[in-house]
Amino acid sequence: MASGADRRLFWATAAGVVALDIVTKIVAVATLARRPLELVGDYVVLRLVYNRGAAFGLDLGDASRWIFLGLAIVALVVLGLMVRATRAGDKLRLLALALVCGGAFGNVIDRLRSAQGVVDFIEVGIGRYRWPTFNVADSAITVGAVALAISLWLEGRAHERAKEAGTAAP
């Protein structure tokens, strides 16, 4: 990540995710503590939940907070190394990594801030079939992970095409 424009794109995106995550969690705690809010019937409901575990409610008991905090910090270090290794001008990769980093950092803040767990408040589903409740950080991580997978796949295809053509990959 050589250029200043690349660094600005990465940091602005990551900071934007963290800021939006913090603000929406503050609003969720302040407004949803008494009762949930149906946005689109019971298909999209804002419901305050505290998640002490990880994605999909994975819980490792009393140590969950610290185990998942440690894992998130390790993930952020690995992601940071990926950011540094990203080719200048690879905006898709930088945006993807910024989304994942911003989301991970947003949830790290919650784990440090409160023993209650990460604030989740977006619930979607049909009838009794519900997706686990999530937040803005979780959404950013998911979108970023999909974009990162696409970026890596496209890079692999370009490398294969270059190899077939008998040239070095870009």
Q: Could you tell me the two tokens for 32?
A: 């949803």
Quote the pLDDT of residue 19.
98
pTM of the model as a whole: 0.84
Which helix (H) or strand (E) segment is 121 a member of?
A: strand 118-126
Q: Which residue's entry shows tokens 């692999």?
A: 156
Q: Pseudo-torsion of CA 86, 91, 94, 97, nearest 10°?
A: -120
Pick from 58, 36, 49: nearest CA to 117: 49
Q: How confident is the model at residue 54 (pLDDT cuts 50, 70, 90)?
A: low
Task: Tell me the Cα Rg of the chain.
Answer: 19
For the chain, helix, strand, coil in percent to 5 are: 65, 15, 20
| 18 half-sphere exposure, CB direction, 13 A CA radius | 15
Q: Could you tell me the two tokens for 37?
A: 């809010």
Q: Phi/psi of residue 134, each to 5°?
A: -140, -175
Name which of 29-33, 63-67, 71-75 the model is least confident about: 63-67
Higher pLDDT, 66 or 96: 96
Count of beta carbons in the 10 Å neighbourhood of residue 33: 8
pLDDT of 63 higher than 80:
no
Q: What percent of the chain is modeled with pLDDT above 70? A: 89
Q: How confident is the model at residue 103 (pLDDT cuts 50, 70, 90)?
A: very high
Q: How confident is the model at residue 5 (pLDDT cuts 50, 70, 90)?
A: confident
Count of beta carbons in the 10 Å neighbourhood of residue 109: 16
Residue 122 to residue 153: CA distance in whole angstroms? 30
Quote the pLDDT of residue 157.
86
Hey, where are the domains in the chain? 4-164
Quote the pLDDT of residue 143.
96
Give catalytic residue positions: 120, 138
Average pLDDT, the chain: 87
Sign of CA dihedral 122, 125, 126, 130: negative
Helix (H, G, I), strand (E, B) or coil at 170: coil
pLDDT tens per residue, range 143-162: 999 999 999 999 888 878 88
